Structure 1
Amino acid sequence: MQIVDVVKKFGETVAVKNVSLSVAKGELFALLGSSGCGKSTLLRMLAGLESVSSGKILIDGEDLAQMPPYRRPVNMMFQSYALFPHMTVESNVAFGLKQEGVQKAELKDRVHAALELVQMARFAKRKPHQLSGGQQQRVALARSLVKRPKLLLLDEPMSALDKQIRQRTQIELVNILDSVGVTCIMVTHDQEEAMTMAGRLAVMSEGQIVQLGTPHEVYEYPNSRFSAEFIGSTNLFDGHVVEDEPDHVFVETTELPCRLYVNHGITGPLGMPVTISVRPERIALTRKPPEGAYNWGHGTVANIAYMGGYSLYHVQLDSGKTVVANVSSLALSEIESPTWGDEIYVRWSASAGVVLTA
């Protein structure tokens, strides 16, 4: 599936700006972004619910941009599931096939197979109101898959579920889609959901894709301040380049008592303003002054959030900047669990930082 230079305008407003994207057959791909970034508009254009102002949408080389929704080999599972309340589970799943005039025997077999796939065959005679949120979601998925689309679109698929069910359902959904082999594009604002389910993801902002890659690539190597802050949480240090070699860069900052050191070069001019991103889980706490002349700071514990297997420590540095460290329970026991108001040092390795120039 290919999106080629697609633009969507609403009057003078450009909601989607020259987006190009290729999604491989059988891939589960996520569009991730905050409200109003253009991700849902892009999904609706793929479904044919919004017209394309310019550009092409290709599936197996065929341009869908001018094709009406009912002729597209595309199915969309809506956020609300949109099940017919007066119909049984079986009838809901069969509805699309009946509209296409599929013969009765084939229809029955396909509906049963779809319900078996999502483990809902035993609830075939129930109405939607007799099902839990997770069960309703499975019925909506069966209804989408029974038509054997080339492309399945998921609009915020987990938003109606509570957190515990959501985490279990994410894995189940990935396994079901993998067994069917359908190409899938999912829209979500939930970064955890995108990183759990998708093989690749695109971060969108103001109608454009700002970063594209695997969850690991986007999280570990953000290409901009926006990506670093949007995917997960991070600590950002502003400064300017004072030394840049192929294998390292030194950055001077007013936020720490020492220089920042990152073990890769950036090929930028000296004096260039940059931001260093350091994830909370890469930051260690110590009661003793760290050895070495870079990547550390001194401060006091301003807040602690206990999260079970780890704690989030908010450390206010002497410069006034707050740094967040994600510290495991094991690591805490080794430094006698600092508490509010304690003096503490933060430190991180040369490989922990990522240099952001945008």
Structure 2
Amino acid sequence: MSLSSPESGPPPTPGFVQIQGVAKHFGDTVAVQHVDLAIARRELFALLGSSGCGKSTLLRMLAGFESVSAGRILLDGENITDVPPYRRPVNMMFQSYALFPHMTVEANVAFGLRQEGVARAEIGDRVAEALKLVQMQAYGKRRPAQLSGGQQQRVALARSLVKQPKLLLLDEPMSALDKQIRQKTQIELTRIVEQVGVTCIMVTHDQEEAMTMADRLAVMSEGRIVQCGTPHEVYEYPNSRFVASFIGSTNLFDGVIVEDEADHIGIESPAFAQRLYVNHGVSEPLGTAVTASIRPERVMLSRQRPVRHVNWAEGEVAHAAYMGSHTVFQVRLASGALIEASVPSRVLAEGDGAAVGESVFASWSADGVTVLSA
């Protein structure tokens, strides 16, 4: 049976994995609080959050390594809540890779199949196919100590896929790799998962990793899912201050809605001399205290007062950090507030940029403001 035939498999199915009201208690400590999720067949889904938010505990409940205190878990219509780990059609790739140091690469990949009593000839074929899939067929006779971190990760992935699981779980899959290898491996791992057609749930604290790899992601905090959606939806339309600041960088300014017209709203903020003009409506009434979120890449800098944007503020460059592809500027406004702008290097190449201590105008469009009430 081929490991890589998504076209011939069943079509995407909403609710292939269903997590219904799942909670986990450790004594008086609540690690996961009433989580509801539906994940489609062949979807690559990310659980994203900082340490201690409950994401790894939720993953371990899916694997069967932790019991469920409340709720239930369904996989392809089957209730697996109380099914032991070794009986679940689920494989987990651990953060440490957990390779046997005394075994060769081939033996590591074959280990689970041997435990199941699969025929030797079939084991050989499936191991060869799995190693070919992760481009490690030339390293079958080596031991883990003879491999780089990225190669060990590929072997761990092959060992997880060789058993042809319905659900693949990845626990911080890139954490052991340095940044340059990690960025390359993110794309490669996504390609392999898509080629195999396996449903995959990964846990990560790295926002860039989740945004790069996942079809959808859920942001977790204190055992709860606070927002779920595509990377674009969560980044562009965060539903709270927490999500806006956790996913990427943003400028947050407190204010009050003082104007509500058919085509725009106005927000007064102590950070700015004039009202913020936002060209979309909100559900909150006049007088509501809100937070305005402005992404740094939405902020433009100029020496002249802008004519394109209705939102602008004058200030002085307090700090500039060259990041290669872009430069991050911090501009201190007359109010004392700081606003951050991320300016692409190609834009700076067209001019001479702005120096620390120089007066500039920061501006952003009417649709560059996300209004948050939580």
Shorter chain as denominator, the TM-score bin is over 0.9
- Taking the aligned partners of 1:110 and 1:88, their CA distance within structure 2 comes to 16
| Residues 218 and 225, structure 2, Cα contact 8 Å, conserved in 1 | yes
Partner of 1:315: 331
- Indicate the SS of the match to 1:152: strand
Match 2:91 to one of 68, 75, 84: 75
Match 1:115 to one of 131, 141, 150: 131
Match 2:240 to one of 221, 224, 230: 224
Partner of 1:172: 188
| Residues 310 and 365, structure 2, Cα contact 8 Å, conserved in 1 | no
Structure 1 residue 299: deviation in Å?
1.1
Structure 1 residue 298: deviation in Å?
1.3
| Residues 250 and 259, structure 1, Cα contact 8 Å, conserved in 2 | yes
Partner of 1:134: 150
Question: Would you say 1:287 and 2:310 are equivalent positions?
Answer: no
- Taking the aligned partners of 1:185 and 1:204, their CA distance within structure 2 comes to 14
| Residues 90 and 111, structure 1, Cα contact 8 Å, conserved in 2 | yes
Question: Would you say 1:329 and 2:338 are equivalent positions?
Answer: no
Cα shift readout 1:248-301 (whole Å, capped 9, x = no counterpart): 211011101110111110022111000110100000001112348952111111
Cα shift readout 1:89-118 (whole Å, capped 9, x = no counterpart): 000000000000001111111111111111
| Residues 285 and 345, structure 1, Cα contact 8 Å, conserved in 2 | yes
AA in 2 matched with 1:306: Y
Partner of 2:49: 33
Cα shift readout 1:186-207 (whole Å, capped 9, x = no counterpart): 0000000000000100000010
Structure 1 residue 336: deviation in Å?
2.7
* 1:250/1:293 CA distance change after superposition, 3 Å: farther
Match 2:214 to one of 188, 198, 201: 198
| Residues 35 and 189, structure 1, Cα contact 8 Å, conserved in 2 | yes
- Taking the aligned partners of 1:292 and 1:154, their CA distance within structure 2 comes to 46
Cα shift readout 1:285-341 (whole Å, capped 9, x = no counterpart): 011123489521111111110112211001111111111100122333455311011
Partner of 1:257: 273
- Indicate the SS of the match to 2:72: strand
Cα shift readout 1:136-165 (whole Å, capped 9, x = no counterpart): 000000000000100000000000001111
| Residues 287 and 335, structure 1, Cα contact 8 Å, conserved in 2 | no
| Residues 6 and 55, structure 1, Cα contact 8 Å, conserved in 2 | yes
- Indicate the SS of the match to 2:248: coil
AA in 2 matched with 1:221: Y
| Residues 219 and 227, structure 2, Cα contact 8 Å, conserved in 1 | yes
- Taking the aligned partners of 1:75 and 1:340, their CA distance within structure 2 comes to 53
> How many matched pairs?
358
- Tell me which moved more, 258-267 or 223-232: 258-267
Partner of 1:101: 117
AA in 1 matched with 2:371: V
| Residues 309 and 365, structure 2, Cα contact 8 Å, conserved in 1 | no
Partner of 2:5: none
- Taking the aligned partners of 1:121 and 1:330, their CA distance within structure 2 comes to 42
Partner of 1:247: 263
- Indicate the SS of the match to 2:316: strand
AA in 2 matched with 1:205: S
- Taking the aligned partners of 2:198 and 2:261, their CA distance within structure 1 comes to 46
Question: Would you say 1:162 and 2:151 are equivalent positions?
Answer: no
AA in 2 matched with 1:238: D
Question: Would you say 1:53 and 2:69 are equivalent positions?
Answer: yes
Partner of 2:82: 66
- Taking the aligned partners of 1:66 and 1:189, their CA distance within structure 2 comes to 28
Give me the TM-score of the superposition, normalised by structure 1.
Answer: 0.98
| Residues 79 and 157, structure 1, Cα contact 8 Å, conserved in 2 | yes
Gaps of 5+ in 1: none
- Taking the aligned partners of 1:191 and 1:255, their CA distance within structure 2 comes to 28
| Residues 4 and 20, structure 1, Cα contact 8 Å, conserved in 2 | yes
Question: Would you say 1:276 and 2:292 are equivalent positions?
Answer: yes
| Residues 316 and 357, structure 2, Cα contact 8 Å, conserved in 1 | yes
Q: CA RMSD in A?
A: 1.1
Gaps of 5+ in 2: 1-16
Structure 1 residue 244: deviation in Å?
1.8
- Taking the aligned partners of 2:350 and 2:125, their CA distance within structure 1 comes to 61
AA in 2 matched with 1:339: A
